[in-house]
Structure 1
Amino acid sequence: MVREATKYDLDILAGLAILMWTNHTLENLKDEFADIMKKNNALFLLIFKDEQPIGFAQCQLRYDYVEGTESSPVGYLEGIFMRTEYRNKGYARTLLQECEKWSVSKGCKEFASDCELSNDTSLKFHLNMGFAEANRIICFTKKI
């Protein structure tokens, strides 16, 4: 079962997200998700198996330039996660399809995403879901 997450699901959502975004804290993720939910330009989905949460997806509308796209707004997959034992069973595809439908309902003609250069699992997932690689970059910072 897939359903939209609300502010009442922040503990569940953050509990799954922390398994992917390990450099955050649960409280940080809950606060960030709560702020995003208030803006009404994002969708958080939860997917359940036998009433247990097994994954989530977050997509948003991006109005700034999105690498490789030509329109605005663009639906953007900010994150998608499935517990390991539920991967490669079609659950993530279901979440992605719901994100794409939501984006179309918001007027989007394109959908995009990204992953770290070293994240081969995410790269494989994106390619298997029909995404085409738009670009590869390395970002730099410098303290001045």
Structure 2
Amino acid sequence: MTSIQEISRENISILAHLATQLWTDTHFDEMSEHFEEVLLAEHPTAFLLLQDQKPIGFIELSVRQDYVEGAEDMPVAYVEGIYVDNVFRKKGLAIQLIHKAEQWARSQGYTQLCSDSELANSGSIIFHQKAGFEEVGRIVCFVKNLN
């Protein structure tokens, strides 16, 4: 049985562990501190996905006030990250997280849910399309070091 829990003090360490699976260049302590901040923030939130009481995924949401590519109505709810353990993928569970995000966004008065993906992450792009997101642009980012 699948269930979804909103972020709480009790599940921060679980969220932090799962986040290190998504963002592999981060550390557990860093993500624990991050989710502590999310818990205390005014608008951002996260939801933990459980399958038979076992944590298998999460979605982190924020509110972006400034510019978001393609957004028509600012501020917007924004998917900062979504993750489902490999064993449980392609079973519609991530879509359940998106639906929860949509409910949360509507309850906060937002009219759009936005997200992004790396250009090379074809799996994420396909997922977003299946979840009902519309692609609004592609960018390549540049940095020039001046030292």
TM-score (norm 2): 0.94
Match of 1:26 among 25, 28, 32: 28
Offset, 1:39? 1.2
Offset, 1:142? 1.7
Kept in 1, the 8 Å contact 2:7–2:39? The answer is no
How many pairs are equivalent?
144
**Distance between the aligned counterparts of 2:74 and 2:106, measured in 1?**
12
- Computed over aligned residues only, the root mean square deviation of the Cα atoms, in angstroms, reads 0.9
What fraction of aligned residue pairs are identical, expressed as a percent?
37
Aligned position for 2:106: 104
TM-score (norm 1): 0.96
Once superposed, which parts of structure 1, at least 4 consecutive aligned residues long, lie more than 4 Å away? none
| Structure 1 segment 1-144 matched on structure 2, within 5 A | 1-144=3-146
**Distance between the aligned counterparts of 2:108 and 2:7, measured in 1?**
18
**Distance between the aligned counterparts of 1:39 and 1:16, measured in 2?**
20
**Distance between the aligned counterparts of 2:124 and 2:50, measured in 1?**
21
Offset, 1:62? 1.0
Q: Is there any run of 5+ residues in structure 1 with no aligned partner, and where? A: none
